[in-house]
Structures are given as structure tokens and as C-alpha cells.
């Protein structure tokens, strides 16, 4: 079993390098980097969770930078599970999850980034987007909710917006939880069978599933056009939930480590402080 530094790294394989193609179709959603769902993998996840908890505390104390984690997936892709299993260790004071549903009429009366910008993390915070501004080039494109002339300009708008956030002290990482069409079917079937999961079943999702290929095309374009040096995309193999959690945890822990938050020095001379 690895101790600290010699744990296996798995996320590099998932990174879509800026300028390269994601080529989602050629990536196996069952990829697991040769790992198994065993004690080593449990220790690997625990290692990253410890790193996240430690670094998040420093990020909060420092109060100067922030991290934005964007999570996208097809229905039943595991966004909720990843948030629960990976960000469950985060301090609720400084981690905020925002779920983006179909826009309200007020939101539709503004530009597509209006509601998103308001939800971005404050300094010291981790912000998690459960769905995001990418819906505006995914479901909106697939369902033709706006004309092509409108959505095709959004890739550039998104890159510029994310650049603005990055220039303002927000590190951004984006994970597409990639499940196979077969795995989605199995998860939908389980939702119908299991009384504990029936509340999650939604016939609207079964309709969306019929457009699987169009969604994959839209994801491919979004990732290819918007994986940038300041906001990279990761295609996370997500058929195996335990592996998905490891990858997402590693991506987040590494991102926090890269921004290297530090405890601020005390604002007074602690040696002279008197407590009566
Ligand atoms: P879960 O089903 O796990 O609770 P979810 O993210 O699927 O989570 P739902 O309420 O089922 O939540 O679905 C939200 C829906 O809103 C999704 O179908 C998504 O595509 C849609 N949506 C999100 N943003 C937009 C947008 N900008 N325009 C149109 N539809 C959107
Ligand atoms: Mg849903």
C-alpha cells in the first residue's frame, strides 16, 4: 500500500490538453487505470480526501483565492454521488454547491452567464457547479432552445468568462463524468426497481436518453473548444463509481495544491497578546 507520496496518479490520463481533441468515443467509461475496488483504492481516496480537507482549511484561512469545480454528466452520471463522496469532507462554511436547473423566466431575460456569475465562489471558498453554464451549449443546443447563431458564439463567451474568473484569483477545473449508454440504462433500471431510488427516476431523463448521440457530439465540441490552460476539462471514466471518486478527488486536491494556499500571519504580535 502506498504511503503518502507514492500513491498512484490517475488524472493525467483524463485531462484534455488544450488544443487536443477529447475524442470521448474512444475513451472507455470503464477505465480504471488497472486499479481494483479494494483496500488500496480506499486508501488512495482517503489520502486525497485528507489533502482536500487540509488545503481547503488553508484556502479559507488565507481568504485570497478560490476554486471552482464544474461537474457535468448525462443523467445518472454520478454528479450527486461525486459531490457527496468527495466534497463531503469539505467545511460547509467555505464550500458551496450550486445546482443549475432549467432557467427561470427572470434568468432567461438576461444573458446566459448572468445567473452563473452570481454563483461563482468568493475568495476563500470552493464553489461546486452541479451542472453549469455548459448546459447552454449542451441541452440548449441539442433541444434547439435557441438558434445555432446564438449558441455557437457561446464557446468564446465561456472561454472569456472563465478567463476573467481565473484572472480574478479563481482556479477552475471541469469534470465530465463519462458513463456509457449501457451503464445509464442499468442505473435507470435500478432507480425504477429500488424503492430507495425511485424518487430519482424521472421519465424526462428517458426522453433525453434518446438523444444520446447528439449529446455526445455537443459534449465533444464543448470540451474541445473550452479546455483551456486556465480552465481545463477532464473526461472522468465514471462507470465505476469508486474510480470516479478517486479521479475527482485527485483533480480537486491537485488543484488546491497548485494554488498553494497559506495560513496568513497574525495581524498582531501574538507574544504580546494578553488573555486575562
Ligand atoms: P438530479 O436528476 O440528479 O436531481 P439534475 O441535475 O438532473 O439532477 P434535474 O432537476 O433533474 O436535475 O434537471 C435539471 C435539468 O435542467 C436538466 O435536464 C438540465 O439539462 C436542465 N438545464 C440546466 N441548465 C439549463 C439551461 N441553461 N437551459 C435549459 N435547461 C437547463
Ligand atoms: Mg435529472
* Percent over 90 (pLDDT), the chain: 98
- Which among 77, 83, 9 is positioned nearest to 254, based on CA atoms? 9
Smallest-distance ligand from the CA of 130? 1
- Ligand 1, CB within 6 Å, residue ranges: 75, 80, 99-103, 130-131, 135-136, 139-140, 145, 202
Residues whose CB is less than 8 angstroms from the CB of residue 257 and which lie 6 or more positions away in sequence, other chains included: 51, 55
Q: Residue 6 has what pLDDT?
A: 82
* Residue 130 CA, ligand 2 centroid: distance in Å: 11
Domains, the chain: 11-259 (3.40.50.300)
Per-residue pLDDT band for 2 (boundaries 50, 70, 90) equals very low
* Residue 75 CA, ligand 2 centroid: distance in Å: 5
Q: Cβ distance 161 to 208 under 8 Å?
A: no
Characterize the bridge pairing of strands 15-16 and 233-237: antiparallel
Tens-digit pLDDT profile for residues 117-133: 999 999 999 999 999 99
Whole-number Å distance between alpha carbons of 237 and 245? 10
pTM, entire model: 0.96
Amino acid at each position: 500500500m502506498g504511503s503518502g507520496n507514492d500513491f498512484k496518479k490517475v488524472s493525467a490520463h483524463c485531462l484534455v490538453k488544450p488544443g487536443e481533441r477529447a475524442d470521448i468515443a474512444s475513451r472507455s467509461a470503464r477505465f480504471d487505470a488497472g486499479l481494483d475496488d479494494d483496500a488500496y483504492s480506499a486508501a488512495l481516496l482517503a489520502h486525497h480526501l485528507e489533502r482536500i480537507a487540509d488545503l481547503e482549511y488553508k484556502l479559507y484561512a488565507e481568504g485570497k483565492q478560490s476554486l471552482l469545480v464544474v461537474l457535468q454528466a448525462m443523467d445518472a452520471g454520478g454528479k450527486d454521488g461525486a459531490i457527496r463522496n468527495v466534497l463531503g469532507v469539505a467545511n460547509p462554511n467555505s464550500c458551496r454547491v450550486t445546482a443549475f436547473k432549467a432557467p427561470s423566466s427572470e434568468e432567461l431575460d438576461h444573458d446566459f452567464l448572468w445567473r452563473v456569475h452570481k454563483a461563482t465562489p468568493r475568495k476563500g471558498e470552493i464553489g461546486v457547479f452541479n451542472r453549469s453554464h455548459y448546459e447552454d451549449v449542451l441541452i440548449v443546443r441539442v433541444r434547439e432552445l435557441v438558434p445555432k447563431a446564438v449558441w455557437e458564439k457561446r464557446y468564446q463567451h465561456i472561454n472569456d468568462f472563465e478567463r476573467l474568473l481565473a484572472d480574478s484569483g479563481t482556479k477552475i477545473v471541469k469534470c465530465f463524468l463519462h458513463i456509457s449508454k449501457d451503464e445509464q440504462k442499468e442505473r435507470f433500471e435500478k432507480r425504477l426497481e429500488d424503492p430507495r431510488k425511485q424518487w430519482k427516476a424521472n421519465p424526462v431523463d428517458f426522453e433525453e436518453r434518446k438523444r444520446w448521440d447528439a449529446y455526445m457530439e455537443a459534449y465533444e465540441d464543448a470540451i474541445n473548444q473550452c479546455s483551456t490552460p486556465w480552465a481545463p476539462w477532464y473526461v472522468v471514466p465514471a462507470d465505476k463509481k469508486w474510480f470516479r471518486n478517486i479521479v475527482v478527488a485527485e483533480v480537486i486536491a491537485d488543484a488546491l495544491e497548485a494554488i498553494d494556499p497559506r495560513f496568513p500571519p497574525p495581524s498582531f504580535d501574538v507574544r504580546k497578546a494578553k488573555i486575562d
